[in-house]
Chain A
Amino acid sequence: MTNTPDSPQGNLWEVFIQAKPGIPHKHAGSLHAVDAESALLSARDVYTRRGEGMSIWVVPSHEIVASTEAEADSFFDPADDKVYRHPTFYEVPEGVKYL
């Protein structure tokens, strides 16, 4: 990781919050920070002020590998016309959460 920050406010970090035990961390937003420790403190202050979370991940934004728009056709179209891929033929039992 380079030491040159993206901006005078530090590097950009992506923040992921886990709301309850056992469910996935969800992307909550981003922030600027000069290192991991301050990113974690800022994430707590900016994104968990109203009891949103119980675990936080912070990830340097430039470490995230993203698909590009050019790849969209080959990535996603093949799934569009195969309705049997979707689990719509099952009844979800009552009481199942977070499916």
Chain B
Amino acid sequence: MTGNQALFEYLLHRGDNALILAQRLGEWCGHAHQLESDIALTNVALDQMGQARMLLTEAGRVEAKGRSEDDLAFFRVEREFRNALLVEVDNGDFARTITRQFLFDIFQFHTLKALRQSENEFLVGFATKSLKEVTYHRTLSTDWMKRLGDGTALSHDKMQDALNVLWEYTPELFDITEGDAVLTKAGIIPDMEAIKIAWNEEVRSVIAEATLEIPNTLGYEARGGRIGHHTEHMGYILAEMQYLPRTMPEAKW
């Protein structure tokens, strides 16, 4: 695998993470328990959408086959998406959405911090800009984790249920593909082992403070996003997200 191919795959992976999470968070628009949370979640969605646009545009440029951000977002099929499974898990209730966001925010926060040292100029610029947004996302989701985890008996149970569902999706975040190994060696992307350590430390400390427990998943870990093997949710997300551009490819708004 050439360096360019590896970089293209990595940019797709990061771009798809942001795109699919934005799509999921967007589903909350008009449905959250209060207007304040509704707007907070859609703000995070719009930040993720901004990141997806930068990453997919750059992926198209690196690939050099003339594909735009829209071509990549709307005209790939499920098997060609490279996002981690965690971001496509259904929203469930507010507890599950916030827990998913928290697990992903901490991952993004530490990855972006490390990406600022990348040998790749685009990734440095991208990480510096996005880190500001993600620092806020992390504050927001961490606040909710503690508030609801250490809240009423009902909110605590809902948060624990969410963690029980989502925990098995987290190991995949740190998977290294063959291409990633090439990029890590070249100093373009950070060592995921170090990120995993930082993530574990922070996530476990917040979970403890929220009086929640890490579930025993009996060694089961869900993975497959990096090779295009997605959960049953993915087709529905794409159907909704891609319907308009596929029906009217020339549509402008």
Contacts and interface: CB of A to CB of B under 8 A. Distances in A.
A41 B34 contact: no
Contacts of A42: 36-37, 40
5 contacts: A9-B34, A33-B36, A45-B40, A45-B140, A49-B43
Interface in A44-66: 44-46, 49
Nearest to A46: B39
A46 B147 contact: no
A32 B34 contact: yes
Interface residues of B, number: 12
Given A45-B43, A49-B43, A37 B143 contact: yes
Nearest to B33: A9
Nearest to A37: B143
Given A41-B40, A45-B40, 19 more contacts: A9-B34, A32-B34, A32-B36, A33-B36, A37-B143, A38-B147, A41-B139, A41-B140, A41-B143, A42-B36, A42-B37, A42-B40, A44-B136, A45-B36, A45-B39, A45-B43, A45-B140, A46-B36, A46-B39
Contacts of A17: none
Contacts of A37: 143
User: Across chains A and B, which 10 residue pairs bring their CB atoms closest together, nearest first?
Assistant: A42-B36, A45-B40, A9-B34, A45-B39, A46-B39, A45-B43, A31-B36, A46-B36, A41-B140, A49-B43
Q: Is the interface of A mostly helix, strand, loop or mixed?
A: helix
A33 to B, nearest CB: 7
Contacts, number: 27
Contacts of A38: 143, 147
Interface string A11-26: 0000000000000000
Interface size class of A (residues with CB under 8 A): 10 to 19
B35 interface: yes
B165 to A, nearest CB: 25
A31 B37 CA distance: 11
Contacts of B40: 41-42, 45
Contacts of B139: 41
Contacts of B136: 44
B143 A46 contact: no
Nearest to B136: A44
Interface string B26-42: 00000000111101100
A49 B46 CA distance: 11
A45 B84 CA distance: 27
B129 to A, nearest CB: 15
Interface in B139-162: 139-140, 143, 147
A52 to B, nearest CB: 13
A78 to B, nearest CB: 42
Contacts of B39: 45-46, 49
A94 B37 CA distance: 45
Contacts of A33: 36
A69 B111 CA distance: 57
Interface string B184-216: 000000000000000000000000000000000
